[in-house]
Amino acid sequence: MKIISSIDLFAGVGGMRIALDKAIKKLGFKDNCKLYSEINIYCQQTYQANFPNTNLIEDLKTLKKSEIKKRIPDHDILLAGFPCQPFSKAGVSKRKSLDMKHGLEDKKQGDLFFNILDIINIKKPKAFLLENVQHLMNYDNGNILKLILKLLRNNYYVPEPEILDAKDFGLAQQRKRIFIVGFLDKNTDFIYPKPTFKKTIVSDFLDRYPKKKYIISNLLWKSHKKRRLRNEKANKGFGYKLSYPRDKYTRTISSRYFKDGGECLIYRGENKNPRMLSPREVFRLQGFPEKFKIPVSNTQAYQQAGNAVPINVVERICYNILKYLMTKNINYKKVA
């Protein structure tokens, strides 16, 4: 058996790692994640509960370029779901309204891409996988993505990125994300996975006995309906969305879901208030396994699940990355 090593940057609660480890095991290899980086203490709590004893760098920004060689271990595959707020539609309009910089010019979060780039160029993993919101494709007329690709392509083969949707990969949630893969070996013909179109419906992901506490109050239900009327009049979208258990998929569940559940309220019958999803249900809609531990408050758990990657999609991409590396006969460390 051989070991495939990785590092997990902007790790959140480890969605990318779960997906990679599943693909590694499917191919009969052993996984070894050597390090994760995550600044948020609640994410760290969840990460540690699920992956104890992984070395941590809290704030990747504090890692100086000159320290990368020493502090970042050698690894085969680099994973990074870098912060998406500076590129997301909501994030850009919020930053514009506050007269703040956005995109790569956002010094707090946007330019974190350059930290990833430095690590890639100095440590030279065999492959990397980056994930972000689909809006990155069109942000600043596509110029930011062009710049990102140009910089990555200096040392790596980077095929055109693809937007893949969780609902096409056996998850009952519409969630489009952009994926960027790169290979140190420039003589590559990588292909992204094709949708599986595995049929699922929302109820496949719901708790069998949902707790009463997730039913929204009369006051909140009234205010959702009021806001919807206001939005319709102003031609500003729909407001809340009722999801029926037999629906093929829900809307994208964001990290703001905890506020009022507007993106997805589960229908419970006529004249009954709908209910919010439980945190476990949101993790399920992202493809997290049942055994995944959630040691934090519901508010934190909703944010963590809403920020995570859809595991089914990432697992398929990782599988193709590994398959490709195997056909190239790239050597991995042998387990003693």
Binding site for ligand SAM (CB under 6 A): 10-13, 15-16, 37-40, 43, 59-61, 81, 83-84, 109, 112, 307-309
E strand or H helix at 113:
helix 112-123
Contact yes or no for 278/153 (Cβ under 8 A) = no
Least Å from the CB of residue 39 to ligand SAM: 4
Residue whose CB is less far from ligand SAM, 89 or 272: 89
Least Å from the CB of residue 26 to ligand SAM: 19
Closest CA relative to residue 7, chosen from 72, 85, 51, 65 = 72
Contact yes or no for 239/159 (Cβ under 8 A) = no
In this structure, the number of other CB atoms found within 10 A of the CB of residue 228 comes to 16
Catalytic residues: 84
Contact yes or no for 195/153 (Cβ under 8 A) = no
The single residue listed with the structure tokens 């398929």 is: 316
Alpha-carbon distances, residue 64 vs 113, 198, 297 (angstroms)? 14, 45, 34
Contact yes or no for 132/82 (Cβ under 8 A) = yes
Least Å from the CB of residue 232 to ligand SAM: 32
Amino acid letter, 44: Q
Least Å from the CB of residue 236 to ligand SAM: 27
Contact yes or no for 149/180 (Cβ under 8 A) = yes
Least Å from the CB of residue 57 to ligand SAM: 7
Residue whose CB is less far from ligand SAM, 243 or 307: 307
Q: How is residue 143 written in tokens? A: 């110029």
Least Å from the CB of residue 188 to ligand SAM: 24
Contact yes or no for 282/266 (Cβ under 8 A) = no
Pairing verdict, β 176-183 and 55-57: unpaired
Residue whose CB is less far from ligand SAM, 10 or 156: 10
Residue whose CB is less far from ligand SAM, 37 or 312: 37
Alpha-carbon distances, residue 37 vs 26, 41, 83, 89, 114 (angstroms)? 26, 11, 12, 25, 15
Q: How is residue 138 written in tokens? A: 């069109």
Residue whose CB is less far from ligand SAM, 116 or 322: 116
Residue whose CB is less far from ligand SAM, 188 or 250: 250
Q: How long a stretch of residues is the chain?
A: 336
